[in-house]
Amino acid sequence: MSELRYDGKVAIITGAGHGLGRQHALELAARGAKVVVNDLGGDLHGDGASVGPAQEVVAEIVKNGGEAVANGGNVATEEGAASIVQAALDAFGRIDIVINNAGILRDKSFKNISTAEWDAVIAVHLRGAFLVTKAAWPHLREAGAGRVVNTSSPAGLFGNFGQANYSTAKMGLVGFTKTLAAEGAKAGIKVNAIAPVAYTRMTADLFPAEFADKLGVEQVTPLVAYLAHESVPDSGQTYTVGGGRIAKIFVAEGPGFTKKDGLSVEDVAANWEQISAQDPIQVFANIGEQTLATFQALS
């Protein structure tokens, strides 16, 4: 198989000063992409700011013969998001790829979480992906072959104790991905999401240290790079990835129970086992297919 290249393409990667984002930036640049390396430069909680981490990644890319510029904009603000997109336009004149990777943690059990801790995480992960993609969207439409990769999480897909804010934001990105895939289809824009399992500074306190090598960020980037490539066939999908394993995540519906002449509470209770049955499942490509199945069950 021929090498996948990104020559002439311009990629925006948020949160690219460390971890996954840094690896994505290095990989795409090595394969010919021109990269805007965005990073606020704060700590894991989003406190502080420094363009230093982004500049260090740019310096490494340039040293290796690539092209890149640094940006320290805050993805959670309209001004910050606009500055990221403008940095791409000023330096390279176009945008082809957006990789929404920026994130912070404010882990607390639900009984202890504050409104500020909730808002901060939603702002960076979910609002940030919205604002950056919104600013880039007209340029992706103009290019006619845009690619967006959003960073979800197994915590969003399956839940995780102490991460109500984080898991809500990450599952929100799945819905965001599916809707943008539908809206971008006619313009040639494909939008997908990843749910990575990787050893980074965000997960160092969660994963055993002995898994650091097996769950390296370099095991995640190949999927991201492929989803950012012009040849990727799919859109609106979410994939879990880590440790050399990649699998598609399905939103599925069981066979269910139907009573055409109207349900009572007692009907629900009496048929709970059938309502909860998981086999056979149906996987719908879009909301239209799911709604049609409901109509067919009633006809």
Whole-structure pTM value: 0.92
Same domain, 188 and 285: no
The verdict on residue 287 lying in a domain is yes
Long-range pairs for 108-111: beta carbons < 8 A, 24 or more residues apart: 108/162, 108/165, 109/161, 109/162, 110/164
Number of domains in the chain: 2
Range of lowest pLDDT (98-112, 201-215, 260-274):
201-215
- Give the span between the Cα atoms of 223 and 215, in whole angstroms: 14
* 167, 160 Cβ separation under 8 angstroms: yes
- Give the span between the Cα atoms of 82 and 73, in whole angstroms: 8
Same domain, 81 and 214: yes
**Considering the chain, what is the average pLDDT of its residues?**
93
The verdict on residue 184 lying in a domain is yes
**In this model, does residue 235 exceed pLDDT 90?**
yes
**Domain hosting residue 287, numbered range:** 252-298
Same domain, 169 and 286: no
The verdict on residue 3 lying in a domain is no
The verdict on residue 1 lying in a domain is no
Close Cβ partners of 197 (under 8 Å, ≥ 6 residues apart): 154, 215, 240, 241, 242, 243
Instruction: Kindly name the residue from 166, 199, 226, 239 that is annotated as catalytic.
Output: 166
Close Cβ partners of 201 (under 8 Å, ≥ 6 residues apart): 18, 19, 44
The verdict on residue 2 lying in a domain is no
Residue % of the chain over a pLDDT of 90: 83
CATH number at residue 35: 3.40.50.720
- Give the span between the Cα atoms of 276 and 39, in whole angstroms: 44
Answer yes or no: 166 catalytic: yes
User: Residue 192: phi, psi to the nearest 5?
Assistant: -135, 170
Same domain, 242 and 265: no
pLDDT average, residue stretch 95-108: 96
**In this model, does residue 203 exceed pLDDT 70?**
no
Please give the pLDDT value at position 243: 87
Same domain, 243 and 264: no
* Interval 253-289: pLDDT, tens: 999 999 999 999 999 999 999 999 999 999 999 999 9
**In this model, does residue 209 exceed pLDDT 70?**
no
